[in-house]
Structure 1
Amino acid sequence: MFDSSLRRALNAPLRAVAVTVDLPWVTPNRLTIAGLFLGLGSAAAAATQLWWWSLALWLVSRVLDGLDGTLARLRRERGDGVGSGAPDSEAGGFLDIVADFTVYGFTVFGVGIGATAAFNAPWWPFVLVLVAYYVNGAAFLAFSSIAERTNRQIDDGRSLSFFGRIAEGGETIVVHSLWLILPFFAWQIALAWAGWVGISAIQRIIVGYRALR
């Protein structure tokens, strides 16, 4: 919902960091992999009720998720070749979206394990979140694939072509942070979030279907 505004606000600080870490051995793909492992570490920390460690790892992983694309764009503007980690590689965009989905899924799983063990929370709200993620992801990935094939892409600087709705990356970062800060309310947050993502999925299905007719 506010991803476009968030990207504009973070563009300058992320670019400053990207300039700082723009070293030969630092590539966008390596930043993506680092973010993936930190995200998995966040999930493991949540599962063992190390909530503040989980929050720190989660936030750093999301910073790296934004930094990889920023570094890629910086190198593209400079005209670096693929061998130096330039963003022109479609493989990098593929790796990024797979890493995001992996981190999102495992962090929900980790919070679910930790909350049920520590606070006797019900497990089903976390399952609902995963189902909502699955449907939402299927909707925009299918749209992106068909839009690419039929030359109806939406070019907003991201690797995939999809409609922004009420649940995007910015909201996901906030909600995943919130249930790590308030783990005793994690299942209630998960229930509300599942509904929110579900509405977003329905929106994407309707708008995507109409756009491709």
Structure 2
Amino acid sequence: MTVFDARLRRRLADPLARGAKLIDVPWVTPDRLTAAGLATGLGSAAAAAGTLWALALVLWLVSRAFDGLDGPLARRRAAGSGSPAGGFFDITADFVVYGTTVVGVALGASRAQVAPWWPFLLVMLAYYINGTAFLAFSSIAERTGRRIDDGRSLSFLGGLAEGAETIAVHSLWLLVPGWAGGIAIAWAGVVALSAGQRIIAGFAALT
């Protein structure tokens, strides 16, 4: 993972653990937090498509807060490890939210005539290649006993584009939608480089 993402994860580990302790009541479950993150993420995409940029930003950040709490709560209840089903739901929800928010911003920006739609198509292509690389590695690494354990459900190969960077970039184009097209082109390049990095590192690790 990137230095920024790694540092942020370390800095947020204790606050998120304390947050998980505060919300550790029977009716709050990790899966419900994941579902709440998915719902607010979809709401952010819809708000962006409607050019409601401030609302989209708030819902995006709330969505990522839910996403940050589901793992610590799962590990707290499972004595250090989350459930496989919960991990699957979490990563699937993340992919849905990332993809739909890109589409939402593309629709809103083109509708408001502040940016064309095609830079966001490049982002989606880069996300597809990047996701394929790390999911394929995770599956094969698990099967061959070469799992990378950093506390998450999957074996993540490091890359330039990680969760913290994704949150920052998605927030940025909601803050300044007039620059969203240029931000999307640059971000697509970063994600593409990250995908290439993961492909090379994954092949080397499995050789």
TM bucket normalised to smaller: over 0.9
Give the structure-2-normalised TM-score. Answer: 0.97
Q: 1:99 to 1:149 in 2, by over 3 A?
A: same
Please point out which of 193, 197, 204 is paired with 1:199.
193
- Determine the structure 2 residue equivalent to 1:89: 83
Counterpart Cα distance in 1 of 2:15 and 2:142:
31
Counterpart Cα distance in 1 of 2:23 and 2:179:
38
Alpha-carbon distance, 1:17 to partner: 1.4
- Determine the structure 2 residue equivalent to 1:66: 68
- Determine the structure 2 residue equivalent to 1:101: 95
Q: Does residue 169 of structure 2 align to residue 175 of structure 1?
A: yes
The C-alpha deviation readout for 1:30-57, integer Å capped at 9, x for no partner, is 0000000000000000000000000000
- Report if aligned partners of 2:30, 2:70 keep a CA contact under 8 Å in 1: yes
Counterpart Cα distance in 1 of 2:79 and 2:86:
16
Q: Considering only aligned residues, what root-mean-square deviation do their CA atoms show, in Å?
A: 1.0
Letter in 1 for 2:106: G
- Report if aligned partners of 2:148, 2:156 keep a CA contact under 8 Å in 1: yes
Q: Does residue 71 of structure 2 align to residue 77 of structure 1?
A: no
- Report if aligned partners of 2:34, 2:66 keep a CA contact under 8 Å in 1: yes
Q: Does residue 58 of structure 2 align to residue 56 of structure 1?
A: yes
Letter in 2 for 1:163: L
Q: Does residue 130 of structure 2 align to residue 136 of structure 1?
A: yes
Give the structure-1-normalised TM-score. Answer: 0.94
- Report if aligned partners of 2:45, 2:56 keep a CA contact under 8 Å in 1: yes
Between stretches 23-32 and 112-121, larger displacement belongs to 112-121
- Determine the structure 2 residue equivalent to 1:126: 120
Letter in 1 for 2:163: G
Letter in 2 for 1:170: A
Alpha-carbon distance, 1:123 to partner: 1.2
Counterpart Cα distance in 2 of 1:110 and 1:128:
14
Q: Does residue 159 of structure 2 align to residue 165 of structure 1?
A: yes
- Determine the structure 2 residue equivalent to 1:154: 148
The C-alpha deviation readout for 1:132-166, integer Å capped at 9, x for no partner, is 00000000000000000100000000100021111
Counterpart Cα distance in 1 of 2:90 and 2:138:
15
Alpha-carbon distance, 1:76 to partner: 2.1
- Determine the structure 2 residue equivalent to 1:39: 41
Counterpart Cα distance in 1 of 2:114 and 2:40:
27
The C-alpha deviation readout for 1:68-119, integer Å capped at 9, x for no partner, is 00111111238xxxxxxxx542000000000000000000000000000112
- For structure 2, the 5+ residue unaligned runs are none
Q: Does residue 20 of structure 2 align to residue 3 of structure 1?
A: no
- Determine the structure 1 residue equivalent to 2:111: 117
Between stretches 15-24 and 182-191, larger displacement belongs to 15-24
Partner SS, residue 30 of structure 1: helix
Counterpart Cα distance in 1 of 2:75 and 2:83:
11
